[in-house]
Structures are given as C-alpha cells and as structure tokens.
Amino acid sequence: MVEHWMEWASLLLRWLHVITAIAWIGSSFYFIWLDLSLRKATRLPDGVHGESWSVHGGGFYNVQKYLVAPESMPKELHWFKYESYVTWISGFALLVVTYYWGAQAFLIDSSVRDLSVAQAIGISVGSLVVGWIIYDLVCKTPIGKNLLLLGAVVYMIIILAALAYSEIFGARAALLHVGAVVATWMTGNVFFIIIPNQKKVVASLQRGESPDPALGRQAKQRSTHNNYLTLPVLFMMLSNHYPMTFVSEDLWILVGLVVLIGAIIRDYFNTCHTGADGLRVRWQWPTASVLIIILALWTRPETLVLDARQVVTDQQVHSIVTAHCANCHAERPTIAGFTAPPKGVILETLADVQKYKAQVYAQSVSSQAMPVGNMTQMTPEERAILGHWLERH
Ligand code: HEC
C-alpha cells in the first residue's frame, strides 16, 4: 500500500517540479532576452540605459532598464526568486522519493560499489553540499575575475563530478546526480548570491549611498553561469528516462558533450537577442549538430557478441525473463517491496516480451538499465541471447 502513496507523491512532486522549472526558466529566458534587446532611444529619463517594446496578449509593453536604480524606489517592486527555490525543493523531494526511498533499486549498484542505504544517501546529500562549497569557492578566487577561464574551470569540475559519481552510484543515478549538483549551484546562485546582492544594492540606495559595484559584478558572473547551464541540466534530468544515456563507463564523456552542446545552443540565442548576424550566429547550430551526432553514435549499443551458429531457443529466453524480469514484472511480483508490476509492464510470457519488444531491448540489451541495479545479476551473455531473440521476433 505504501508504494501506492509513494507513486502519488512522485507524480505530484514531478508535476510541481516541472511547473516551477518552466516558470523559473521562462522568466530567466525572458529577462535575458529583455536585457539583450534593450535599445537606446532619444528621449529616455535620466539613469535609463535602454528600452524595449513588445506586444503580447492584446497590449503593448514598454520596458525601461535603470542600470543602477531609479531616483526613488517604486512602492511595489517585483522579485523573481520563488520559482528557483521551489524548483530546487521539489527536485530534492523527488530525489528523496525516487532515489532514497528506492535506494536499493535506483541508487545503489553493487557491481559499482557495495554501499549500505545509509551510506548511499549520506554520499548523495553530502555531495550536493560539498559540490556547492567547491563551486562557490572557485568563483570567489581570482580565477572568477576572468569569465572565460572560470567557465573552463567550472566545466572541469562538472566532468570531475561525473567521474566521481560513476565510481559510486549506478549509471542512472550517477547521471542524475551530476544534473542535481549543477542545479544546486543554479539555485544556490540565486539564494546565496544574486538575491542577497540585489537586496544590499536596494538597501544602500534607500540610504542614499551608491552601491558597491562588486555586488553587481558578482551577481552577473553567477547569472551568466545559470544562463549557460540551463540547457545541459534539463538534458541530464530528462535523460533519466532514456536508458541509452546511462553509459556506466565514461559517463564523463557524455556529460562533457552535453554541457558543451547545451551551452553552445544557448549562446546562439544570447547572440541573436543582441541583434547580431553573420558568422557570430552561424557557427552554433552546425557545431552543436555535429556534437549531437557524435554523442548519438558514441552511445549506440555494442554489437552483440554471440556465436553466429549458436541457436537461441524460446525456452532459453523464457528462463532468462523468468529469472531476471518476471520477479518484478508480474501481476504479483515476488521481489520484496513490489506489489504491482512497475510501470504496468508485465513480462511473464514470451508474448509479453514481444509486446514490449522495443522497451525491453532499450532497457536490458542496448543498456543495462534493467533489471534495476542489476539486482538479479544478469550476465552480458544473457543480454546478448535476449537481444538476439528480440531481433528475430
Ligand atoms: C527489481 C525489480 C525489477 C526487475 C528485476 C526488472 N525491472 Fe524493469 N522496472 C522496474 C522498475 C522499478 C521500473 C520503473 C522504472 C522507472 O520508474 O523509471 C521498471 C521499468 C521497466 C520498463 C518500463 C520502462 C519505461 O519507463 O518505459 C521496462 C520495459 C522494463 N522495466 C523491462 C525490464 C526487463 C526486460 C527486465 C528483465 C531483464 C526487468 N525490467 C527487470 C523494476 C524491475
């Protein structure tokens, strides 16, 4: 029964997480666009850096940006922060429901490292905290003064995180954790840096003092990171549903490519918003496309090594599925903790296997996503036999 409530918790949290992420990313993309689309006009009030006109929902909008602040503070000032906070909180809650509650199946892979549930959860939470501390410290060193150099260092940290996680967790959890670490930086940037700095600026203006320009520079550094990390993080979150991305070895190569691809595509939009044309907006899509093709080619399944003369019998396949799948994927699962077939997928007969042919292939032949955490220790030879049979039926 408790599984039923956990499924509902999972669905509701995912719903919330997606909605708040859309709201956060939507407002963040909007402000990036707004900032870059500001143009000078002849008659702008003092202190106004530029303005932008747009039309939406039957009305015209004229937005003006004050570089420092208007002469007097408006009575009503809108802040954009809760979208980010709630995205992180709901994301963390989803991590708890999926990966901590189901640690044995989803977090721990004993062929990677034989952790206890407490150890695995401790490492997961601890790494999010330590990840933020490292990132924040690096941004505050002199390296942080050079945005490009800092970008390269942050990129290396992400790759190191992928290397470390793939030594600790199963591939699926490892990839999700790289995404979670980077997403934690993004919300950390809003919570610890951008919003507090903005508050300090507002307070000093209200006291009639001129604000410390370092506060604005630091906020800009972090919001630039958030901008370029948005697309890679979304990829890493979504890839959790695509087993071909759970590459257990060399996860860092996948992560390295994904971060590059996402940042390059983002750069295209950033550059376009400024009104730039020519080569400055022509290199991104071809480069990103080539990298995507490399990624897709690199993650393609290895050709199955099976002696061509070996005969694969229905009986063999039936025993493999009975031993490795049907204990969970049955009307009445026999593995403790499962009261219903996961995702409604039943794999008791060969006809069932055929019905879910493409999914079975993706989950347990071209990747090792199933059985979860390789709980039943399915061998590469068994995967090859199953694959051979699926290709012929
Ligand atoms: C220990 C229990 C367990 C075993 C054993 C197991 N699975 Fe699963 N399976 C799950 C769980 C849990 C999910 C739901 C995963 C999720 O939420 O993404 C799942 C999901 C699936 C899905 C649906 C994926 C999707 O999201 O569309 C397929 C297909 C699948 N398993 C195939 C298999 C095959 C094939 C085997 C045997 C080689 C197998 N499973 C063995 C627990 C198991």
Q: From ligand 1's centre to the CA of 286, what distance in Å?
A: 37
Over residues 240-274, the pLDDT tens digits come to 999 889 877 799 999 999 999 999 999 999 999 98
Show Cβ contacts of residue 290 under 8 Å, excluding neighbours closer than 6 positions: none
CA-nearest of 261, 237, 220 to 99 is 237
pLDDT of residue 291: 98
Structure tokens, 109 = 């892979």
Structure tokens, 233 = 């993080």
Dist CA 22 CA 28 (whole Å): 10
Among the ranges given (24-38, 212-226, 291-305, 319-333), the one the predictor scored with the smallest mean pLDDT = 291-305
Over residues 24-75, the pLDDT tens digits come to 999 999 999 999 899 888 888 888 889 999 999 999 999 999 877 787 788 8
Q: From ligand 1's centre to the CA of 372, what distance in Å?
A: 6
- In the block, tokens 């509902």 appear at 8
> Rounded to 5 degrees, what angle do the CA atoms 134, 137, 142 make?
135
- In the block, tokens 């049907």 appear at 326
Side-chain half-sphere of 245: how many Cα atoms within 13 Å? 21
Whether ligand 1 lies within 6 angstroms of the CB of 371 is answered as yes
Dist CA 147 CA 129 (whole Å): 24
Structure tokens, 173 = 């959890």
pLDDT of residue 47: 82
Whether ligand 1 lies within 6 angstroms of the CB of 359 is answered as yes
Check pLDDT > 70 for residue 304: no
Show Cβ contacts of residue 293 under 8 Å, excluding neighbours closer than 6 positions: none
Structure tokens, 51 = 């303005």
Whether ligand 1 lies within 6 angstroms of the CB of 366 is answered as no
**How many C-beta atoms surround the C-beta of residue 33 within 10 A?**
15
Dist CA 122 CA 116 (whole Å): 10
pLDDT of residue 386: 94
Q: From ligand 1's centre to the CA of 363, what distance in Å?
A: 7
Confidence of residue 85 (pLDDT cuts 50, 70, 90): very high
pLDDT of residue 319: 96
Confidence of residue 380 (pLDDT cuts 50, 70, 90): confident
pLDDT of residue 15: 98
The one-letter code for the residue type at 157 is: I
Average per-residue pLDDT in the chain?
Answer: 92
Please give the number of the atom of ligand 1 that sits closest to the Cα of 106: 12
Confidence of residue 337 (pLDDT cuts 50, 70, 90): confident
Please give the number of the atom of ligand 1 that sits closest to the Cα of 333: 2
Q: What percent of the chain has pLDDT over 70?
A: 98
Confidence of residue 125 (pLDDT cuts 50, 70, 90): very high
Q: Residues 326-338: what's their mean pLDDT?
A: 90
- In the block, tokens 């934690």 appear at 184
pLDDT of residue 303: 65
pLDDT of residue 392: 86
**How many C-beta atoms surround the C-beta of residue 255 within 10 A?**
29
Whether ligand 1 lies within 6 angstroms of the CB of 376 is answered as yes
Whether ligand 1 lies within 6 angstroms of the CB of 336 is answered as no
Over residues 133-146, the pLDDT tens digits come to 999 999 999 999 99
Over residues 190-248, the pLDDT tens digits come to 999 999 999 998 898 888 888 888 998 899 899 999 999 999 999 999 999 998 898 77
Side-chain half-sphere of 59: how many Cα atoms within 13 Å? 3
Pocket test for ligand 1, best of 104, 319, 372 (most atoms within 8 A of CB): 372
Determine contact, residues 212/204, Cβ cutoff 8 Å: yes
CA-nearest of 337, 336, 359 to 346 is 359
Whether ligand 1 lies within 6 angstroms of the CB of 325 is answered as yes
Determine contact, residues 158/255, Cβ cutoff 8 Å: yes
Check pLDDT > 80 for residue 333: yes
pLDDT of residue 306: 67
Q: What percent of the chain has pLDDT over 90?
A: 70
Nearest CA to ligand 1 atom 11: 342
- The more confident residue out of 301 and 328 is 328
Whether ligand 1 lies within 6 angstroms of the CB of 360 is answered as yes
